[in-house]
Chain A
Amino acid sequence: MNASRTSGAVPPAASVSETGFDPTLFDRFPTSGERPEGELGELEHVWRAPRGWGLLTVVNNNYVGIFYVGAAFLFFLLAGILALVMRVQLALPLNGVLPQETYNQFFTMHGTVMMFLFAVPAVEALGVLLLPQMLAARDLPFPRLSAYAFWAYLVGGLAFFASIFVGLAPNGGWFMYPPLTSTAYSPGINADFWLLGIGFIEISAIAGAIEIIVGVLKTRAPGMSLDKMPIFAWAMLVFAGMIIIAFPAVIFGTLALELERALNWPFFDPTRGGDPLLWQHLFWFFGHPEVYIIFLPAAGLVSMMVAALSRTPLVGYRLVVLALVATAFISFGVWAHHMFAVGMPRLSVGFFSAASMAVSVPAGIQVFAWIATLSVGRPRYQTPTLFLVGGLVTFVLGGLTGVMVAMVPFDWQVHDSYFIVAHLHYVLIGGMVFPMFAGFYYWTPMMSRRPLSERLGKWVFWLMFAGMQVTFLPMHLTGFMGMPRRVYTYLPGRDWEITNMISTVGAFMLAAGILIFLVDLIRNFRFAAEGNAGNVYGGGTLEWLPTGLYSTRSIPLVTSREPLWDRPGLSREVEEGRYFLPGSATGNRETIITSPLRAEPQYLQIMPGPSVWPLLSAIFTAGFFLLLTVQAYLVGVVSGLVAIWCMIRWLWETDRPVRPPTADIGAGIEVPTYVTGPSTHGWWAMVVLQIVIGMIFLMAAFSYLYLYGVHTSFWTAPPAPSWLALLLPLYGAGMGLAWLARVLLARRRSTLWSPATALLFGAASLLTGFVLDCLSWRWSGLDPEASGQGATVYGLLAIQGFVTGVAVLIALYVAARNSRGLVTRPRNNSFDLAVLFLIYTGAQGVLGAALVRLFPGAV
């Protein structure tokens, strides 16, 4: 059976199968009869974790997940300490605790670290930790990618944070508006450190998003159709989708800012046809969805916990999914509500005001769904419940002030004042931090031999909750009293000193709560993937099945949203191996790949085990960026090359078909162990990656058009359109040769080398096209430093150059695999993905070349 054939077929409305899989096969579960001796032992052996220093090479999600959560929490504490020092400085007017320059670095770091190094990684970390368990997958589909993302984030994040100890921390505010952050006004390398720190989180967020999308859509337990997915999985799917669309904007933005700083390309310089507002558009097109990127996973956690603690299914599951999906879309239409005061035409501000209203409706739906669920059940007043209710109250208040600031005239008054500081902390602490602490209490028993203390937990909650309100409620008033944000001091005599002193006292209450939490953690947290405290709060979803490092002994058949509630014997049956994959079918780490809608088994994925290469890749990637930032260019480039080498080593061992070609995943259901084509997890990941690159390209194209609209007078004539007659065929040939290579691979008569040769020629053709594209612009006399046109045109070319470089590298890699006989026929995944990438590269080249020559030239 070739799964790729069947998954593409469009099912009729009444069909109950998505892939042609016969659902009656599910009736064979749970199986009966004895399981063979030693099956469990083999499973444990296959999934055992390395010991000692080898733990650094671990890739299993239990470990990487807990490291990841720990690292994110560390950054939360560090950024929180910065906040406390700032609160001390602001407690009194004209206070001298922090000098101006240090304060400016502190608030920049507080915002940057909280948003980029704590909030996004924290929710991503929870996803890595919880998702495989909730979906009853053995692991996430690309465990080594998780490990790489984690290490890059940890090493890069720590190096970035260290900049504050040497006074080199960025000082332009967490949204780094140019021109303040361009070299003219920030000549030091402080701003470069910001770009560096963001670079890491871009890498790890994108890697994590790919992982999560493929994980949620392709590795769910059989039978877990979309409507039976735990709501957290929905939230993470939406979260990852949003990252894919939103992060490219900030990736391009940071690229442009660094190009402006390092090479003097005037993207944001109005005297040369750039525009400072372009940065704001790019940043907030990312920045506003970012807020929901943080909030939605936390809301997913809330939905899970509210249901579990109320001991009743979530009321309005479908409406909550609707809310998640709607938020994901509409949040991309509200970016400019951070720009109401920049002087946009009133039509534009009204337009973004309307979208900002629309995005608040889904939040209301979730709030009422939680209240409804609490009404149905009788929640016990345990620590997670307290955090949930406290978070709900806080978030509602933040949401209401959010609607207030969506009103343009009101925003003109409170924008950039302490009212906004209050609003955003209410939303983020109520919407993300309190749910996360609820989650810490609720899920710790899954990872620890002892649960956290209920007694200490109540102290933690009340101190944090009261501290939060005491800190931030008065700030609304401080804002009304006219205090702008980001001021290191203020003059006495306006009563600001009263509210500020109250806020400072509150901040220390909040910190005291967190301190007690740390005590609780030290006293009670003992990591244990096996033999943990278990289902203390009585949850009904699959993460509460008994687990080992291999996740569950057998992968259950899912028939409802809370399988543990609906089938009391499930844990025992799973533990006895009565469901899918009760052992290792091939002697490797493996998980079942299922179809995206209805989770029908498609094939068995062979998973990689521990490896040192992701760690080394991450270290050298970090080295590359860090060394470039401190302007050690040569060593930096060497480090980058080593990083690439490590990645190739890491990939080299993957994509090896195993024997036997099909395997029994339980009850005699046979699935293939090696599948190619659009149903594979690799294909999905590649498509998602191409969407990311495509979005980066789109952002560059938007910048080009935007600057044309703002500063038309700077535009010069492009090279003659006849160049297209040369470029398009070259790009086209690259795409065609790549496609030809795939055809050749399937034909038995072609010799071993010809498909790889076609691929190499394709890559060469793409490279030639790119080089000629660059030369045509150089010869036309347009200099990247000359104008916004120059900057954006060469910016587009830089993206094309990067993609072309990767394409060449991929072609060489696949050719090398081919020469070692690692490319299987008639189809091979590595080969397929190379072909996909080359075709993408050519298509992007065509679009880019045509856009900058035909518009505005031909119009």
Chain B
Amino acid sequence: MPEADPAAGRDVVQRVGCASCHVFPDISWPRGALGPNLGDFADQGLIGGRVPNRPDLLAAFVRDAPALIPGTTMPAMPISERESRDVAAYLYTLRDR
């Protein structure tokens, strides 16, 4: 993603506590068990099992998931649009090795 910083995205993930629902490979605590493990997120075809895994959609999804997928457990998160792009960039660094 142009002009997005994965490292900043990781900081956002830590700050807002995404890990309280998801497992991230490089965050050792918490390792939330409610949402999907995001260890190989970059290799996934769909977001939330429904939406194509595209950068623009992902950024929108992490900011306001219910708007994109009504009924999802994932709530809207208190982050800015710029931060959502960073987060998306970070998520695309997560690949199964």
List chain A positions with a Cβ less than 8 A from chain B: 92, 94-96, 489, 492
Partner of A92, one of B14, B28, B30: B28
Q: Is B22 an interface residue (CB 8 A)?
A: no
Determine the distance from Cα of A96 to Cα of B26 in the docked complex, in whole angstroms.
11
The count of residues in chain B whose C-beta lies closer than 8 Å to any C-beta of chain A is: 6
Q: How far is the CA of A26 from the CA of B29 in the complex (A)?
A: 76
The CA of A96 and the CA of B19, in the complex, are separated in Å by 14
B12 CB to closest chain A CB (Å) equals 14
Bound together, the chains give a CA A492 to CA B10 distance in angstroms of 14
Give Cα A489 to B29, complex, Å. 9
Which residues does chain A contribute within 8 Å of B30, judged by CB atoms? Answer: 94
Q: Which residues of B contact A492 (CB under 8 A)?
A: 14
Looking at chain A's contact residues, the main secondary structure is: loop
Looking at A92, A95, A96, A489, the one whose CB has the most chain B CB atoms below 10 A away is: A96
Supplied contacts A95-B28, A492-B14, 10 more A-B pairs, CB within 8 Å: A92-B28, A94-B27, A94-B28, A94-B29, A94-B30, A95-B29, A96-B28, A96-B29, A96-B31, A489-B29
B11 to chain A, nearest CB (A): 10
Residue in B14, B28, B29, B30 whose Cβ sees the most chain A Cβ within 10 Å: B29
6 tightest Cβ-Cβ pairs between the two chains A and B:
A94-B29, A96-B28, A95-B28, A94-B28, A96-B29, A489-B29
5 CB-based A-B contacts, threshold 8 Å? A94-B27, A94-B28, A95-B29, A96-B28, A96-B31
Q: Give the residues in chain B near A94, CB-CB below 8 Å.
A: 27-30
A92 to B29, CA, bound (A): 11
CB neighbours of B29 from chain A (8 A):
94-96, 489
CA distance A94 to B29 in the complex (A): 5
What's the nearest-Cβ distance from chain B to residue A568, in Å?
A: 67
- Considering only CB atoms, which chain A residue lies closest to B27 in the complex? A94
Instruction: Encode contact with A along B6-43: 1 for CB under 8 Å, 0 otherwise.
Output: 00000000100000000000011111000000000000
A94 vs B19: C-alpha distance in the bound complex, in angstroms? 12
Per the 8 Å Cβ criterion, residues 23-76 of B in contact with A are 27-31
Query: Smallest CB–CB gap between A400 and chain B, Å?
Result: 37
What separation, in Å, do the CA atoms of A94 and B30 have in the docked complex?
8
Query: Which residue, of B27, B28, B30, has the highest number of chain A Cβ atoms within 10 A?
Result: B28
Q: Nearest CB to that of B19 among chain A residues? A: A94
Tell me the bound Cα distance from A96 to B27 in angstroms. 9
User: In chain A, what residue has the closest Cβ to B28?
Assistant: A96
Within the complex, the shortest CB–CB distance from A487 to chain B, in Å, comes to 12
B24 to chain A, nearest CB (A): 11
* Max chain B C-beta neighbours (<10 A), residue from A92, A94, A95, A489: A94
Residues of B within 8 A of A489 (CB): 29
* Residue ID in chain B nearest A491 by CB atoms: B29
- Complex: how many Å from CA A492 to CA B29? 11
A489 to B30, CA, bound (A): 11
Question: Which residues of the partner chain B approach A92 to less than 8 Å between Cβ atoms?
Answer: 28
B33 vs chain A, min Cβ distance (A): 14
Complex-state Cα separation, A92 to B31, whole angstroms: 16
- Bound-state CA distance A492–B30 (Å) is 12
Among residues of B, the one whose C-beta sits closest to the C-beta of A95 is B28
A96 CA / B14 CA spacing, docked (Å): 16
How many angstroms from the CA of A95 to the CA of B29 in the assembled complex?
7
Residue of A nearest to B14 (CB): A492
Quick one: closest B residue to A488, CB to CB? Answer: B29
The closest CB in chain A to the CB of B31 belongs to A96
Q: Which of chain A's residues has its CB closest to B29's CB?
A: A94
Q: How far is A101 from B59 in the complex, measured between Cα atoms in Å?
A: 38
Cβ distance A93 to chain B, nearest Cβ, rounded Å: 8
| A456 CB to nearest chain B CB (Å) | 38
Q: How distant is the Cα of A94 from the Cα of B27 in the complex, in angstroms?
A: 8
Closest to A100 in B: B29
With a cutoff of 8 Å between Cβ atoms, the chain A residues found around residue B14 in the complex are: 492
Closest to B30 in A: A94
A492 to B28, CA, bound (A): 12
Residues of B within 8 A of A95 (CB): 28-29
A96: nearest residue on chain B (CB-CB)?
B28
A137 vs B95: C-alpha distance in the bound complex, in angstroms? 72
Residues of the B chain whose Cβ atoms lie less than 8 Å from the Cβ of A96 = 28-29, 31
Shortest distance between the CB of B13 and any CB in chain A (Å): 13
**Which residue of chain B has its CB nearest to the CB of A97?**
B28
Alpha-carbon distance A734/B31, docked complex (angstroms):
68
* Bound-state Cα–Cα, A95 to B30, Å: 9
CA distance A492 to B27 in the complex (A): 12
Query: A95: shortest Cβ distance to chain B, in Å?
Result: 5
| Chain B nearest CB, measured from A13 CB (Å) | 73
Which residues of the partner chain A approach B27 to less than 8 Å between Cβ atoms?
94
A50 CB to nearest B CB, Å: 55
Cβ distance B37 to chain A, nearest Cβ, rounded Å: 14
In the complex the two chains form, what is the Cα distance from A95 to B31 in whole Å? 11
Report the minimum CB–CB distance from A30 to chain B (whole Å): 73
B15 to A, closest residue via Cβ: A493
Please measure, in the bound complex, the distance between the C-alpha atom of A94 and the C-alpha atom of B26, giving whole angstroms: 11
- How distant is the Cα of A735 from the Cα of B30 in the complex, in angstroms? 67
Within the assembled complex, what's the spacing in Å between the Cα atoms of A96 and B29? 7
Residues of A within 8 A of B31 (CB): 96
Q: In the assembled complex, how far is the CB of residue A655 from the closest CB belonging to chain B, in whole angstroms?
A: 64
Q: Mark B74-92, 1 if CB is under 8 A from A, else 0.
A: 0000000000000000000
Q: How far is the CB of A88 from chain B (nearest CB, A)?
A: 12
Q: How far is the CB of B23 from chain A (nearest CB, A)?
A: 11
Bound together, the chains give a CA A494 to CA B31 distance in angstroms of 21
Chain B: minimal CB distance from A85 (Å) = 15
Chain B nearest Cβ from A494, distance in angstroms: 14
C-alpha gap A95/B14 in the complex (Å)? 14
Min CB distance, A493 to chain B, in Å?
A: 9
Shortest Cβ distance from A101 into chain B, in angstroms? 14
A489 and B28 CA atoms in complex are apart in Å by 11
The complex places the Cα of A422 from the Cα of B75 at a distance, in Å, of: 45
Q: In the bound complex, what is the Cα–Cα distance between A96 and B25 (angstroms)?
A: 11
Q: How far is the CB of B20 from chain A (nearest CB, A)?
A: 12
Alpha-carbon gap, A489 to B27, bound state (A): 13
Residue of B nearest to A89 (CB): B28
Report Cα–Cα, A763/B40, bound state, in Å.
78
* Docked pose: A92 CA to B14 CA in angstroms: 15
CB distance from A290 to the nearest CB of B (A): 36
CB distance from B26 to the nearest CB of A (A): 11
Kindly state the separation between the CA atoms of A492 and B31 in the bound complex, as whole angstroms.
15
Minimum C-beta distance from A348 to chain B (A): 41
Bound Cα distance from A165 to B64, whole angstroms:
47
A169 to B63, CA, bound (A): 46
- How far in angstroms is the closest Cβ of chain B from A850? 59
Chain A nearest CB from B60 CB (Å) reads: 29
Closest-CB distance, B92 to chain A (whole angstroms): 23
A263 to B29, CA, bound (A): 40
Q: In the complex, what's the smallest C-beta–C-beta distance from A363 to chain B, in angstroms?
A: 42
- In the complex, the chain B residue whose C-beta lies closest to that of A93 is B29
Complexed CA–CA distance, A331 and B37 (Å): 56
Separation of A92 and B30 alpha carbons in the complex (Å): 14
Residues of A within 8 Å of B28, CB to CB, are 92, 94-96
Whole-angstrom distance between the alpha carbons of A489 and B14 in the complex? 16
B15 to chain A, nearest CB (A): 10
